[in-house]
Structures are given as structure tokens and as C-alpha cells.
Structure 1
Amino acid sequence: MTESLKLRLIKNAGWLFSAEVISKLLAYGVVVLLSRTLGPEGLGQYSFIFYYVGLLGIFSDLGVGYYLMREVARDRKKLNELLPGVLGLKIVLAIVNFLVIVGITLFLPKPDWMKILIILAGAEAMLTWIAGIFVSIMYAHETTRYEAIARTTERLWAFFVGGAVIYTFKSLSPFIVALLAGYTLREIMRIKWGLGFIDELKIRFRPEVWKNLLKKSYPFWLIGLFTLIYYRTDMVMLSLLRGDYETGIYRAAYTLIEVSLFVPNIVVSTAMPSMARLWKENKETLKVLFKKSFQMLTLLGVAGLAGYYIFARLGILIVFGEEFLPSVPVLRILAFAIPFMFLNSLLASYMNATGKELAFTKITGFTALLNVALNYFLILHYGAEGAAVATVISQGAQVLLVHFSLKT
């Protein structure tokens, strides 16, 4: 790798690392406050609301955000050409997706107060989906500091404002409203800073332009769709099949696992735009970058597995308390998924950056369906532990399938 590329990657990784550490610690604190105040059932309800909205966000992008980032990373002159059509399509998709959420939520077997919170979360999600385009623009320009500041600001709000609200009211509803206010602030910051990379903001509502975009972006949408199913199914199915308590037990364990995911997130977010550019400019340097990233994530993933397995009980007791001790075996099972999660993040970005998105779409589709099937049968028989086993098997299967795909 060239010296300038190394310095740029280190700088970008430094911004994201700082933001991820602070954000994860604060997010951790928010979940701890919530779980210790409202118990497993409250944590389960909170998890269902946001995982449900995320799962139903399937029509919010159709792959155009990722496509825009890759193309602009390769040639920044394409920004002015692509952005107007992408923004117009994103606005329409956000509105349609919100209507889908409202329509389905009305028939959920959940209390009315939860349905109202879900609809509010869906309304805020429209802004999040649109702001994602501006994050893609910043990443395409290999600039991460603004996203780091936006994330950190939102987490500070969630911890201090959200924490004060949950401590004062001891109720989920005002806490969710406080979090949504913080999300709104974050999206405004993202849009404001993203606009700094644009010469002139234009929005086009032209179906013929959208049609051409979707011909090229649909593989990324399918990957995003399957990934949503892959990562959101367990929590939603647990809530519907086994109730809020079981969901809270699983979420406590998964929250500790999520803390470790800042490692691959940093590596991938900083390396992906460079991988897309190097695929056109210098394939030998790309191989070196990928190899070093793969080796680093493998070592860190195995270390994470050992640490989580050994200290599972201690971690649950310190963070969540004795009420969450049933989360310990769930956490120990999920620990085996960490190396696979680390590598899948890198492998996905590598295949997308190097024009292998169709192959990766098929792999992600298969593993998503596998995950849903495993979750259904294992949750019915084993509850939260079954969901954890489904996660490990699905993650491992994806690593193997991508490995064989790259070899052929």
C-alpha cells in the first residue's frame, strides 16, 4: 500500500474508532439503564419496536445508496450526474415505506401504545433513510469525521437526555420519544455536512431516471434486504413466538456481542471506498489491503470468542444484574458467531467493491432464508438459545459460501 493511502485509512479509522468507542459505551449505558429500570420485558418491547421498524425498512433504499457510494468513490465527477435522481427516488421510497409500516402495524398483536410508538419510529426513519445518502457521499469522499461527530452527538443525547427521562418517568413511551428526538438531530447534522460535498443540490422525480438507476442498484438492494432479514429476524420472531421476556433475555446477550462489532465496522467503513477505487487503479495493492484486513479481523474475532465465552457470566452480572442470568448461555453460544461476523463484514464489502455483487446477492439470499428457517424451528423448541444457535450456523455458512465463491 502507498504511504498516502495508509495515512488516509489510519486517519479515517481514527475518527470512526473514537466515535464507535464512545457511541458503544453510551449505547451500552442506555440499554443498561433501560434494562435495570424496566427489566427483561421492557428491554424486549424496546428491541421489538426498533428491530421491527428496521425489518420493514426493506423498500427504503433499493440499493441506490450503496451504488452511489461505490460509483462516486471510483469517479467523483459522477456525483452531480447521479445525485438528483437518487435523492428523488429516496424521498418517494421513504414515504412509501412509511405507509407500509403504518398499514402492517395496525394489525399487529401488540397494545395500542406500542403501535403508536412504532408509527412514530417509522416517521423518524424516513429522515434517517434520506440522510443515509449524505453519509454515502461523505464516505465516497473518504471523509469520516463528520459521521463520527453526528453519531457521537446522538449517543450523548440518548444517554443523558434519554437516561434522565427513563429515570424520571420509569416508562418506555417517553424514553422512545426522547431517543427519536436524538435521531432527528443526528440526521440533520448528516444532511448539513453532506451538503458541503455537493456543488448544487438538485432533486429529480423522473421515473425513467429511476429505472436506469435500479437496473444497476438492485443487487445491492437484494443484499440489503437479505441482510435486514438476516439480522432482524431473530428479535422480531422471538417477540412474536415467545414474548417480550424471552426477547429481552436474548437482547441482553446480543447487546454485549454488538459492542465488539465496532471493530469490523471501522475496518470496513474506512477500507471499502479505497477497495472500490483500487479495483480500477491497482489490483495488487487491493490484494494486500484485503489480505491484511482479513488477517487482522480473524485474529481479533478469535480473541473476542475466547473473551466472551470465559467472561459471559461476569459480564451479564456486572452490566444487567441477576435478573438477566438466563442470558449467560445465550451469550456463550453467540460468542462463536463473532469470528464469522467479523469476516462477513469484510467479505461483503470486498465482493461489492469488486463487481461481484450478484454472486454475493445469491449467497446472502440463501443464508437469509436459512436463518429464518432455523430461527422458526429453533425458537419454537429452545427460545433465546435457539435463536443464538441459528445466528452462529447462518454466519458460519455465509463465510464458507463466500470463501468458495472467491476461489472459483
Structure 2
Amino acid sequence: MNKTNVIVKNTAVIFAARIITSFLSFAATFYIARKFGVEDYGKYALALSFVALFTWLGDLGVDMFLTREVAKDKKSLKSILGNVLAMKMFLAGMLFGLVFLSVNLMGYPELTRSLVYVACASMILTIYANSFLSSFRAFEKMEYEGLSLILAKLLSSVMVFALIFLKKSLLWMMWAQVMGSVLLFLSSLFFLRSKFTPPSLKIEFVLWRKFIAGGLPFALTYFLVMVYFKIDSVMLSKMVGDGAVGAYNAAYNLVFAFMIISSAIVSSLFPAIAFNYSKDKEYSQRILSGGLKYSLILSLPFALGGTFLAEKVIFFIYGPQYSASILALKMVIWVLPVLFVTNLLGNCLGAIYRQKQVLYVALVNALVNVILNLILIPRYSLYGSAAATLATELLGMGILLRLISKNFELQLGKTSMLVLAANLLPLPILFVFSSFHILAIVCIFGGVYVLSLFVFGLISFAELKKLRPARLQV
């Protein structure tokens, strides 16, 4: 199988797996939000956001480093992975200790603290499993990652629905996430042992120093990204209340439900760009250009449709109790296409050893986001947070585009205009069929949009047939 077909196969596998897991995960989350109400859902969302702020400490960016280095030298897996796992044992203890200390110092009530503790346990298991998944990516064997993710999300989602049916408390919902993380760890470990190499702990401090030097920029970048994605929930909880957190995250989660698509694209392209950049820069450039094109194709219709269908979407998924989320959704939905682009650009820079530049962008974004939230939340509550997020992402995209242009020659002006035109063509459907059920409108809009992609030459049957295109078309 040639290089392009490997990328397409991996993209298809991860895309399918992420779509399935995204559907399961967000279906469970939406059900929790609907059944427990705005206030309790706010506590649940706060716990997840709080723990996410500390996740970087349990990883220190070593998984990205693992993928990049093993992709170049497959024989190094056993040594690198063994040291990564040993290093994470120390990091996990530090992570839990810092989370425990922080949540108690901030004076949260007992239920919120308990939710945070359980969420932290789930996160630690996932951090370990991520090292196994990163190994699969390095070998470009995404099918094992996909199957592990599906099994884990299937278990946790089924448990959520069953526990709600049994009328269990909110804390039980978080324990369902722990069980999913346990299965993710065990299934990915099984595939690693049976298909690659049995992991064994190794302590080589020379390698640890190399991990920290190579991975820390990734970790700090991830931390700063989490700051400007998650700090708003923590700030809302203290400055407004759990109700605002619940309403804001109801809209926010609808946006991030689709980020799984971007993650699938990035997971497949990152190893290919890392491997080929020094050997065939032109090929890496075509990979990135193709990734950007499909990122726009897959994200813009959600932003456009979400703007006009926000009320129908919120009422259909959450119910009238979340009416405060409607305007927030109309604002944060436009973060989606920006995130698709910045996610790909940032990871591309990391793949070519420019992670310090990404760290700089993340630092600017985090500072701007915190400042904007401090100014806007007291005046506009959750809508201030939505505005701060959108402004921050636009700023970050502008900086990343400037940085990436120093390493790649991207000429996407024509492609971007064609994608925009393809999105505008089915726009009247949102008005003509406005009285229809939301699902009917989405299906009609989606069908016409796919046709418009063919009309404007953005996709072709050659690309779709058996997922074996000759090249990533730009």
C-alpha cells in the first residue's frame, strides 16, 4: 500500500471510530444534561473541566514525542514506551495530589469535590492508555486505536443510560466514565501485547531528560490550550454559578462533539508529516493542504447550520430548560471551523519540530482568554465567555497561519472560496423548510451540500471510490 493510501485508510478508520465514539459519548452527556437539569449538569461539567486543567501534568507531552520518534525508528518502541510508562507512574501521583489540593483550597462543596476525585481517577487511566494508542499511531495501525476507543465509549455510555434508568445519583455518572477508562486501558494493552510488544517498565534517566526536553513544549501547549478552553467554566462557577456553567457547556459541548472529526484528521496526518517533512517536503505540503481543505469542508456547514438552527437544536437535545444556551450556541458554533484549522496547523508545526512556536501561540491565547473572561463574564455571564472564546481562537488562527507560511507554501484562497460557495448554495433550505423537524432539515441540507461539493469540484467519485484517491486534492 503506497503512502497516500495508508493515510487515507488511517483517516477513514480513525474517522469512523471517532464518529462512533463521539456519538456514544455525547449522547450520554446530553442525556445527563437533560435528565439532571442545568444546575447539576453544571457541577458535572465543572468537574471535568477542572480535571482537564491538570491533565498535562500526567503526560508532560511524552505521547506526542513517542509518536514522532517511534514513527522514525520503529525498533525504539520497547525502550521508549517502557520509560514513558515508568515516568507516568510518578506523574500520576503528582497529578492526583495537585487536583486534591486545588479543589479543596477553592472551597467547592462536597458533591463537586467528589465528582472531581472520580473524574481524576478516570483521567489517570486514560493517560496511561494514551501511550498505547500513541504507539499504534507511530506504526500507522489506527484500527487498534479505533477498536479500543469504541469498546470503551460503548461501555461507559451504556452504563450511563442504565444508571439513569435505575435513578442513580450524579456521582454514579462519573463512575461510568471510570469503567470506560478501565476498558480503554485493558483493550489497548491487549492489542499492544498481541500485535506489537509486551510493555515493560524501564528507568533510564537519560531518556527521561530527553522526553522532558522534547515533550515539555507539547505539555505546556496542551496546558495553555486547556486554560483557554476550560478555565471559563471554572471562572463561571465562581463568578456566576453552576447554572451558567451548565447552560454554557450545553452549547460548548455541541461544538466539541464535532471536534472528533478534526482529531481524526490530525491523528492520521501527524505521523505522515513528521516522517516525510525532511525527506519529501513537497509531499508533506500536499498532505497539509489536503487536510486543510477537508477541515473546511467538514466544519463550515456545522457553523452555518448551527447559527440558523440553534433554537431547534437546543430544544431538541436539551429541552426548554436550556433556553439560555441558544444565543451561546450561535456564538460558539463559529469557533468550530477556526478550531479545525488551528488544530491541524498547530499539530503540523509540532510534527516538524516547531512546537515551541505553538507554545508561544498557546501562551498568547491563554492570557488573552483569561483577560477577556475577567472583563466580559461579570457583564455578560456565559455570553461573555462565548465571545472571549471566539475572539481568542481567531487571534490564534491568525498567528498560526503566519507561522506555518514560513515552512509551507499554502495557496488555499481559491479552495476556501469554493468551500464557502458550496456552503452558501444550500442555505435557502434552512428558510424554506424552517417548519420541518430538525432532523429532516439537517438531512435535506446535508444532501444538497454534498451535491454542491461535487458541483464546485471539491470532491469527486475518484476520491470516494473505495477510499483510494491518487492524491489528496488541493
For the aligned pair, the TM-score class normalised by the smaller chain equals over 0.9
The alignment's TM-score, normalised by the length of structure 2, stands at 0.82
* Equivalent AA in structure 2 for residue 316 of structure 1: I
Partner of residue 7, structure 1: 5
Match of 1:123 among 121, 124, 148: 121
Shift of 1:171: 2.0
More displaced stretch, 281-290 vs 73-82: 73-82
* Equivalent AA in structure 2 for residue 85 of structure 1: N
Distance 1:353 1:7 in 2: 20
| Pair 1:69-2:67 in alignment | yes
Match of 2:337 among 324, 328, 339: 339
Partner of residue 358, structure 1: 356
Partner of residue 101, structure 2: 103
Q: Decide which structure has greater helix share.
A: 1
Distance 2:195 2:52 in 1: 28
**1:197–1:89: structure 2 CA closer, same or farther, 3 Å change rule?**
farther
Shift of 1:79: 1.9
Shift of 1:239: 1.6
Alignment of 1:71-220 (within 5 A): 71-196=69-194, 198-220=196-218
Shift of 1:49: 1.0
**1:180–1:201: structure 2 CA closer, same or farther, 3 Å change rule?**
closer
Distance 1:71 1:237 in 2: 38
Distance 1:201 1:175 in 2: 32
Structure 2 residues without counterparts, runs of 5 or longer? 407-474
* Equivalent AA in structure 2 for residue 110 of structure 1: Y
**1:370–1:197: structure 2 CA closer, same or farther, 3 Å change rule?**
farther
Distance 1:353 1:344 in 2: 14
Partner of residue 323, structure 2: 325
Partner of residue 228, structure 1: 226
Answer yes or no: is the 8 Å Cα contact 2:24–2:154 preserved in 1.
yes
**1:80–1:187: structure 2 CA closer, same or farther, 3 Å change rule?**
closer
Partner of residue 303, structure 2: 305
Distance 1:364 1:135 in 2: 25
Shift of 1:191: 2.2
**1:197–1:229: structure 2 CA closer, same or farther, 3 Å change rule?**
farther
Answer yes or no: is the 8 Å Cα contact 2:70–2:135 preserved in 1.
yes
Distance 2:369 2:236 in 1: 13
Match of 1:386 among 381, 384, 387: 384
Distance 1:127 1:183 in 2: 6
Partner of residue 53, structure 1: 51
- Aligned-partner SS, 1:205: coil
Shift of 1:197: 5.1
Structure 1 residues without counterparts, runs of 5 or longer? none
Shift of 1:95: 1.4
Shift of 1:198: 4.3
Match of 2:258 among 248, 257, 260: 260
Distance 1:220 1:291 in 2: 23
Answer yes or no: is the 8 Å Cα contact 2:15–2:265 preserved in 1.
no
Identity between Structure 1 and Structure 2 (%): 25
Shift of 1:200: 5.0
Partner of residue 248, structure 2: 250
Give the paired residue count. Answer: 406
Distance 2:34 2:78 in 1: 49
Distance 1:56 1:330 in 2: 26
Question: Deviations along 1:171-224, whole A, 9 cap, x unmatched?
Answer: 201222222222211222122223345445332234443223212222112212
Distance 2:6 2:207 in 1: 34
Answer yes or no: is the 8 Å Cα contact 2:225–2:362 preserved in 1.
yes
Partner of residue 293, structure 1: 291
| Pair 1:16-2:7 in alignment | no
Shift of 1:77: 2.4
